[in-house]
Amino acid sequence: MAFKTTATIASFGGQLLKLTHPATTTQCHMSLNLYLPPQAIGEGPDKAKVPVLFYLAGLTCTGDNGAEKGFFQHGASQRGVAVVYPDTSPRGLNIQGEDDSYDFGTGAGFYIDAVKEPWSKGYKMYSYITDELPKALFSAFDQLDKERVSIMGHSMGGHGALTIFLKNPGKYKSVSAFAPIANPVNCPWGEKAFRGYLGDDESKWREHDATELVKGWKGKLDVLIDVGTADNFYKQKQLLPENFAEASKSAGVDEGGVRTRYQPGYDHSYYTMATFADDHVQYHAERLFA
């Protein structure tokens, strides 16, 4: 699967590549950003194989938001980690209603595979993120190490990162999230998305809910979550990180295994992520290089 590079941008000594490629899971061309740190650039012995960190963005976002406003490249360049910034949904499938609201359809794929018509046509973001995209990247960029992969995300993307990690034990070295939608079966955003994409069978919803998934987790669990106390969506109970923490504790996860940091005065925006971006990259690097 060929990638087309539409731009190459210097960033913190590395290169941010803006890429497009045809995707079979989403039945459209997908755009994304790939950051290659300085360690992955060069020829021969000067080009190292580097671990990979996937960043999943939130509602309304594209692959550009995190790359342009998250400042993850700063820490990634220092630690020698590549960062992948995928899109949040298919684009231009011409499904009736896909552009009617910000929290469903375009820009709101919720990192699940839709089974309800007409969304099952191409809204297969779970398969795209976990299978098609990484395979394509590892085939096209030999400096990316497929054995060392981690995942993080923000809001809807935090939901995606947590659920994908929990549904695929051993696939990812680490997981972290900013303001994740941690219990979507119990919040308006999640209820709308799951009913629209998955139908009315709520047992199917629980298969994509981090709080429900962690209840069945066995063994050690290591998660970093940051939530701002001034986040309006936290106040509106769209996020529910306490539910995830409580479910983890009830599942017997060791004390400290789920580290939720409530950051005083911080909101839901990229200002918050930029502030704590280095923390999260460092957290992942320690596990990717362990």
Catalytic residue among 87, 113, 209, 231: 231
Catalytic residue among 154, 159, 208, 268: 268
Q: Count the Cβ atoms, other than its own, within 10 Å of residue 69.
A: 15
Residue 254 falls in the annotated catalytic set: no
Distance CA(69)–CA(159), nearest Å, equals: 20
Query: At residue 39, what are phi and psi to the nearest 5 degrees?
Result: -65, -20
Residue 74 falls in the annotated catalytic set: no
Catalytic residue among 155, 174, 176, 248: 155
- Secondary structure (3-state) at 202: helix
Residue 268 falls in the annotated catalytic set: yes
DSSP strand pairing (14-23 vs 4-11)? antiparallel
Distance CA(70)–CA(74), nearest Å, equals: 9
Write the CB contacts of 125 (distance below 8 Å, at least 6 apart in sequence).
25, 26, 88, 89, 90, 109, 110, 111, 112, 113, 160
Residue 34 parent element (H or E): strand 28-36
By the 8 A CB rule, do 222 and 187 touch? no
By the 8 A CB rule, do 38 and 11 touch? no
Radius of gyration of the chain (CA): 18
Q: Is the bond into 118 cis (omega within 30 degrees of 0)? A: yes
Total length of the chain: 290
3-state secondary structure 148-191: EEEEEEECHHHHHHHHHHHHCCCCCCCEEEECCCCCHHHCHHHH
The residues that are catalytic are 155, 231, 268
